[in-house]
């Protein structure tokens, strides 16, 4: 994995609302979750790099994507460790590990210890928090 430093993006709540669609704002800035099996990238198998839909930081390579059966795009590792942060999440009466963009702090999804080899991790992401760039790898 690359460990390049992410660039910090800081915007006001008003600026985020202007930049993002209502759905993306709810997920990225208010830690909402899209309904399973409804996201744009659930079944996409195209090559490229998945970027943060809020700030365009590179997050996940398509070759790390796998079919988890959960209804959300899943990856076994990030493209660059510096571009994500892992945060303890105790909402909804459970303890999970939230994945946020290391550049803008946007909520991406959660990571679970039930993924495939080589990492055993499942980064379960919201489609609307991502944008696929097919020209990048």
Q: Which residue in 55, 101, 104, 124 is the catalytic one?
A: 124
Distance CA(129)–CA(101), nearest Å, equals 9
Based on its alpha-carbon atoms, the radius of gyration of the chain, rounded to whole angstroms, reads 14
Examine the residue annotation and report whether 124 is marked as an active-site residue of this protein: yes
Estimate to the nearest angstrom the gap between the alpha carbon of 67 and the chain centroid. 15
CA-wise closest residue to 11 among 60, 56, 51: 56
Sequence-ordered strand ranges (E) for the chain: 49-52, 58-61, 65-66, 74-75, 84-89, 96-101, 107-112, 122-125, 130-133
Q: What are phi and psi of 18, to 5 degrees?
A: -70, -35
**Residues classed as catalytic:** 124
């Amino acid at each position: 994995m690359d460990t390049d430093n992410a660039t910090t993006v800081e915007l006001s709540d008003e600026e985020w609302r202007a930049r993002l669609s209502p759905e993306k704002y709810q997920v990225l800035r208010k830690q909402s979750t899209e309904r399973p099996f409804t996201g744009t990238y659930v079944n996409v198998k195209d090559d490229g790099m998945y970027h943060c839909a809020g700030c365009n930081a590179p997050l996940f390579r398509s070759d790390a994507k796998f079919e988890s059966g959960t209804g959300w795009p899943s990856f076994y590792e990030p493209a660059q460790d510096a571009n994500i942060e892992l945060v303890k999440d105790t909402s909804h009466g459970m303890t999970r590990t939230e994945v946020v963009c290391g550049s803008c702090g946007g909520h991406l999804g959660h990571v679970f210890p039930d993924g495939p080899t080589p990492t055993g991790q499942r980064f379960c992401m919201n489609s609307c928090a991502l944008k696929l760039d097919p020209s990048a790898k």
